[in-house]
Structure 1
């Protein structure tokens, strides 16, 4: 049973993130069939990126924001994700990348974010990115100011929803005209799948340990 008082929760998570992570075993639970079958590896053109998984207290619960990407001519169009993006030359590290991108995409005041730790880096073959999930917390519910070029909507997800095993499904998902067999989390009418679902899987496994 996870203690949902915010301080206790974040302190437990911070301590747990200092220990060995489940990594690939957690990722495989929510990986698409094509990813498991093809087993594509990073190469010399792979770029680094980072996302921010940021918890905050609200209405006697614990929340984190996901974003819905707008429709555009790209591999991640219309998908659910964590705020984040590619590492720039001026970013001193990937934690800075995650914070900067979260500020740019949804307006989070990054000077107020406390970093709790890191999850396992994850390779995303369609975009050839190696993404570092950075876990943090805010002591308050932020005001969101989504950048309309990169964010169609901010979806606030409470911890109880993520812990509900009935939100897990498996289906064929249409990706730019190609049907992909993939497990997903059904959250507020949206299917969260792919790399984001794999990160959530590891996060949940960490919280349960």
Structure 2
């Protein structure tokens, strides 16, 4: 795929319809980029341990400044997984659905509602074994870029990579992890000064595999049904 084809994604007006079809018919996981760290031994795909907690993240995308972008956040020093880039989301509270949880968390973290939001589908749940969460990633398109007022207790920076940038294989590398005397590598996505790795990279890997399948499929698809709109 050439650099010109990366940028071509920004000219696809019916991207939501096409990507929704690709997500609904995913390739085998072995065909997605292997973004799990060394020594993970496939644990991001479960099975989850007894007593695990459930969480959801919103993989929100929108068109802004002529490009399709993702909404991501940099976690501040005081939180778990500090200085890591992730998708907005968190624990599913009692009585909530995954959709309700990720919409609530998006608004709490970024100070802006993720609405109107059009659900494209769910990616494969990811087990974050370090914190014992099974995370459901929901992909949605927003009608416009939100006006962000991030909560400084939860967000150090709003990170907005474009899909075109994430299609470029040159932005993929390795993150070095040091745990005492143990050192190992994790595949990562390099965006500016950030290295996106771990469970977030696993989610990005599957998302971008779906984007590549969408670009390879030239057949037209219809508009998604109106029932796909997210709501509380």
TM-score using structure 1 length = 0.89
Residue of structure 1 in register with 2:225 after alignment = none
Kindly tell me: are residues 183 and 10 of structure 1, through their superposed partners in 2, closer, same or farther at Cα, counting changes over 3 Å? same
Counterpart in the other structure of 1:136: 140
Displacement of 1:176: 8.5
Aligned 1:177-196 pairs, distance under 5 A: 179-196=183-200
Q: Which runs of 5+ in 2 are unaligned?
A: 214-232
The 1:90–1:139 alpha-carbon spacing in structure 2 relative to 1, beyond 3 Å, is same
For the aligned residue pairs, the C-alpha RMSD in angstroms reads: 2.2
User: What is the DSSP-based 3-state SS (H/G/I as helix, E as strand, rest coil) of the residue aligned with 2:58?
Assistant: strand
User: CA contact under 8 A between 1:124 and 1:130: conserved in structure 2?
Assistant: yes
Q: Does 1:53 align with 2:46?
A: no
1:152-167 maps to which residues of 2 (within 5 A)? 152-167=156-171
Q: After superposition, what is the alpha-carbon deviation per residue over 1:143-190, rounded to whole angstroms, capped at 9, x for unaligned?
A: 111111111111111111111110111241246896442111111110
1:63 matches 2:64? no
* Distance in 1, Cα, partners of 2:87 & 2:193: 17
Distance 1:186 1:52, change over 3 A: same
- Number of aligned positions between the proteins: 206
User: Aligned partners of 2:73 and 2:135: how far apart in 1?
Assistant: 16
Aligned counterparts, 1:52-201, within 5 A = 52-72=58-78, 74=80, 76-91=81-96, 93-174=97-178, 179-201=183-205
Larger Rg: 2
Find the counterpart in structure 2 of residue 20 from structure 1: 26
Determine the C-alpha separation between the residues in 2 that align with 1:121 and 1:80. Answer: 18
TM-score by length of 2: 0.81
Displacement of 1:72 after TM fit?
Answer: 2.2
Is the 8 Å Cα contact of residues 56 and 141 (structure 1) preserved in structure 2?
A: yes
Instruction: Please state which structure has a larger fraction of its residues in strand.
Output: 1
Structure 1 CA distance for aligned equivalents of residues 148 and 182 of structure 2: 33
Distance 2:179 2:153 in 1: 20
